[in-house]
Amino acid sequence: MKKCVVIYNPASGKDKKNTSVQPFYDILRKYDYDTEIIYTSKKNDATSIVKKLDAVDLVISAGGDGTLNEVVTGNLERKKRLTIANLPMGTTNDVGNMYGFTGDYVKNLELLLKGVKKKIDVCLINDTPFVYVACLGDYIDMAYNTPRELKKRYGKIAYILYGLRQLKNKINSYDIRYTVNGKTYEGNYSFFFITNASRIAGVNDVYYDIKLDDDMFEVAFCKVRNKAEMMKFFILLNNMDAKDVPGITYYQTNYLEIEFMKKPKVSWCIDGEEYPITTNKFVFKIDRKTTMMLPKENIIKLFQKQDEGE
C-alpha cells in the first residue's frame, strides 16, 4: 500500500464546521493509499512538517495558497524531494482554480487522485520560493492583513471590505533599476507583479497563455498615480491580457534583478503571505525540480509537454 500524508490547515478558508476529514481516509484508501493527516497550528508549520517527513509517495497540501507555499518551501529544502499536491480549501484558491479544481473538496480529491504527475516551475525571490505570485505596492497588504475572522465570515468579500478601509487617493511609486533578459533599465513604478499563473487575486486569465513548464515567469511593472487610475487599470485587466494593458511594462524571462533606490516601506506579498523586506535588492529565478500531482482538466492549457508521468 502507498503512503500519503495530508497536511491540513484547519484555519484556511471560510467556516469549516461542516468539513469532515473522514473522506480523506475513505477516498485515499480507494486509491490504495494509507493516510496520515497532520494538522498545522501556526505559520510555517507545514514547511517544518514536510522537511522532517520520511519518504512517502504523496504529500497533499489541504489549505489555501499560503499553505501550499509552505509545503513547496519545505519540499525544496529536502535532500530528496517528494511528490506534492494541492487540495484547495482556502478563501481565494487562485492556484487551485488555475489547476482546474472545483469548490467541493471531496470532488477535488477524486480529481487529484485521477490526475497526472508533472514537473512544474517554482519561482524564487532571493531563494525563497513562491508558487504563483510575488507582488509589491499599495493595498497589496490586504492579502495578508485582512483579519482572519473577517475572512471566515465573509470569504472573498472580506478583502474588499478591508481594502476599502485603506483606500486613499495618492498611490506611492518607487524608482528602480532592473536587469532582465540581459539588459538594464531604470524606471518609476507603483506596482510590481512577478507571476507564474493565469489567475491572481481572484481574477481569471490575467495572462491568456501561461505554461508551468517553460522555464519562464511573467513580469509586469505598472505606474498608477491615484485611485481613479487604479480602478481603470483593474477594469482593463478584467478584459485584456495583462501584457496588453496600457501602462504595464511587461517581460517574460527566467531571471530578473530589481534594485530599489530607496527601500520600500511596504512588504512583498508572496502567494498571499507577507514577505518582509530586509534589503533593497531582489533576484528572481526558477527551480525546475518540483513534481506535483495535478488534475487532468487544465493540463493541455498549462503545460507544453503533454506526456504523463514526467
More reliable by pLDDT, 20 or 88: 88
User: Average pLDDT in the 17-22 region?
Assistant: 73
Q: What are the Cα distances from residue 34, in Å, to 172, 192, 196?
A: 52, 43, 33
Task: Kindly report, residue by residue over 239-279, the tens digit of the pLDDT.
Answer: 889 889 998 999 999 999 999 999 898 899 999 899 988 89
Question: Which residues sit opposite 256 in a β-bridge?
Answer: 180, 284
Query: Helix 22-30 crosses helix 105-113 at what angle (to 10 degrees)?
Result: 20
Query: Could you give the CA distance from residue 290 to residue 9 in angstroms, rounded to a whole number?
Result: 21
Mean pLDDT lowest among 98-107, 140-149, 207-216: 140-149
Give the model's confidence band at 150: pLDDT under 50 very low, under 70 low, under 90 confident, else very high: low
Q: How far is CA 33 from the centre of its chain?
A: 27
Pairwise CA distance, residues 73 & 112, whole Å: 21
CB 212 within 8 A of CB 99: no
The pTM score is 0.89
Q: Could you give the count of Cα atoms lying within 13 Å of 218 in the half-sphere of its Cβ?
A: 25
Q: Note the pLDDT tens digit of each residue in 268-304.
A: 999 989 998 889 999 999 998 999 999 998 999 999 9
CA distance 257 to 259: 7
Beta bridge partners of 252: 218
Query: Does 142 score more than 80 pLDDT?
Result: no
In the chain, the domains with their CATH numbers are: 2-114 (3.40.50.10330), 128-287 (2.60.200.40)
pLDDT for the residue numbered 32: 97
Residue reference for cell 495583462: 242
On the CB side of 295, how many CA atoms lie within 13 Å of its CA? 20
148 Cβ partners below 8 Å, 6+ apart?
Answer: 11
Cα 67 from Cα 61, distance rounded (Å): 7
Give yes or no for residue 74 having a pLDDT over 90.
Answer: yes
Please check the confidence at residue 26 and state whether its pLDDT lies above 70. yes
Polymer length in residues for the chain: 310
pLDDT, averaged across the chain? 89
